[in-house]
C-alpha cells in the first residue's frame, strides 16, 4: 500500500461537540441531508443536526440508546440503527416523531441503506465479534416488516452502500479486512457474496460510493480512509497516526467536494476536502 494521497491537513474538525449540549458523544453514524446539514448519532441515542457550516447543532430526538448508522430516504425521513434497543428507529420530519421502525430478528443493527427504487431498507447485522451468521436484513420501507435477507455467514457485517448499477450491495466485513459484494437477483433474493476488496486488514467500518465509481472505505483502526478507484486500484487516501482529527473513524458520507467522517474515539465530526468529488445518485 502506498503513502497517503492527502496530507492530514486536508482534514479538519468540522463540528466540535466536546462541550456542547447535548454533547456530541462518540458519534458512529453520519449522513448529509439534502439541505446541506450534516446529521449524526451519539452513544446516548441523540440524533443531532449540524448546521451546513458546522457552527452549531441541535438535537432532533433521542432513543435513549446508542445510535450507530443513519440514512435518509427521499422524503427526508432519517433511519437510525440503535445498538441498545436492537432496532431501527425512524424520524419523520412531517410529524417530528422519532419512533421504533423495524426490529424483526436482528441482533446488532449497524448500518441502514435506503433503496427507494425497491421500496426497502437494507440493514447490516454485525451480530457481535466471533458470532458469524446472517448479516443483511431487508425491511419494507413503509411498514418495517421484513427479516434476514443474506443468510450466509458474515463475520461482523458493517458499513454498506448500493453499487454503481444499484443492482447489488457493497458490504464491509470488519474482522476479515474485506469488502464483499452481494448482487440482488431479479426475484429479490440474495446472490452468493463475492470479494470486491480484500487484504486491507482490521478493522474496516464504513463505506461511501462516489459518482465516478470510486469506493471510499473507512478504517476504525488504524485511523485512515482508503479509496478504491473505479479501475480497482486501492490506495490510502488519508491517515492520522495521532488519532486526533481522524479518531477511530466509523461511518462516512460524501457531499459535493467533501467527505465527512464520524469519530467514535472523540466528540467531533471531521470534514475532508475532496475537490470535484460528488456522491453517487440514489
Residue-by-residue DSSP string for 186-245: TTSPBPPPEEEE----S-EEEEEEBTTS-EEEEETTTTEEEEE-TTS-EEEEEE-TTSSS
> Is 113 domain-assigned?
yes
> Is 155 domain-assigned?
yes
- Predicted confidence at residue 277, as pLDDT, reads 86
> Is 233 domain-assigned?
yes
Range of 239's domain? 8-273
> Is 279 domain-assigned?
no
- Tens of pLDDT, residues 223-249: 999 999 988 999 999 999 999 999 999
> Is 123 domain-assigned?
yes
> Is 280 domain-assigned?
no
- Predicted confidence at residue 282, as pLDDT, reads 58
- Tens of pLDDT, residues 154-168: 999 999 999 999 999
> Is 2 domain-assigned?
no
Query: pLDDT at residue 2 above 80?
Result: no
What is the pTM assigned to this prediction? 0.96
- Predicted confidence at residue 119, as pLDDT, reads 97
Average pLDDT over residues 243-258: 96
- Predicted confidence at residue 184, as pLDDT, reads 98
* Structural domains in the chain (count): 1
Query: pLDDT at residue 1 above 80?
Result: no
> Is 97 domain-assigned?
yes
Distances (CA, A) of 119 to 98, 125, 141: 20, 20, 5
CATH for 95: 2.120.10.30
- Tens of pLDDT, residues 73-117: 999 999 999 999 999 999 999 999 999 999 999 999 999 999 999
Residue 40 bridge partners (DSSP) = 30, 48
Q: Which helix (H) or strand (E) holds 136?
A: strand 136-140
Q: What is the mean pLDDT of the chain?
A: 96
Amino acid at each position: 500500500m502506498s503513502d497517503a494521497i492527502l496530507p492530514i491537513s486536508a482534514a479538519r474538525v468540522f463540528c466540535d461537540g466536546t462541550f456542547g449540549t447535548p454533547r456530541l458523544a462518540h458519534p458512529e453514524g453520519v449522513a448529509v441531508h439534502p439541505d446541506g446539514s450534516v446529521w449524526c448519532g451519539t452513544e446516548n441515542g441523540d440524533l443531532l443536526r449540524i448546521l451546513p457550516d458546522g457552527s452549531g447543532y441541535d438535537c432532533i430526538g433521542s432513543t435513549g440508546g446508542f445510535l450507530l448508522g443513519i440514512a435518509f430516504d427521499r422524503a427526508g425521513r432519517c433511519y437510525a440503527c440503535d445498538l441498545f434497543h436492537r432496532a431501527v428507529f425512524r424520524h419523520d420530519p412531517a410529524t417530528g416523531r422519532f419512533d421504533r421502525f423495524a426490529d424483526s430478528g436482528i441482533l446488532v443493527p449497524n448500518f441502514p441503506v435506503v433503496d427507494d427504487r425497491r421500496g426497502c431498507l437494507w440493514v447490516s447485522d454485525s451480530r457481535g465479534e466471533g458470532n458469524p451468521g446472517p448479516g443483511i436484513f431487508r425491511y419494507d420501507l413503509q411498514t418495517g416488516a421484513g427479516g434476514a435477507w443474506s443468510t450466509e455467514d458474515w463475520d461482523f457485517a458493517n458499513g454498506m452502500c448500493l453499487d454503481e448499477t444499484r443492482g447489488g450491495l457493497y458490504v464491509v466485513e470488519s474482522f476479515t479486512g474485506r469488502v464483499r459484494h452481494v448482487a440482488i437477483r431479479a426475484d429479490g433474493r440474495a446472490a452468493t457474496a463475492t470479494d470486491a476488496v480484500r487484504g486491507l486488514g482490521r478493522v474496516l467500518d464504513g463505506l461511501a460510493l462516489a459518482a465516478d465509481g470510486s469506493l471510499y472505505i473507512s478504517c476504525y483502526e488504524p485511523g485512515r480512509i482508503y479509496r478504491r478507484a473505479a479501475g480497482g486500484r486501492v490506495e490510502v487516501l488519508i491517515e492520522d497516526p495521532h488519532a486526533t482529527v481522524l479518531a477511530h473513524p466509523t461511518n462516512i458520507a460524501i457531499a459535493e467536494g467533501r467527505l465527512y467522517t464520524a469519530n467514535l474515539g472523540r466528540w467531533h465530526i471531521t470534514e475532508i476536502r475532496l475537490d470535484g468529488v460528488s456522491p453517487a445518485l440514489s
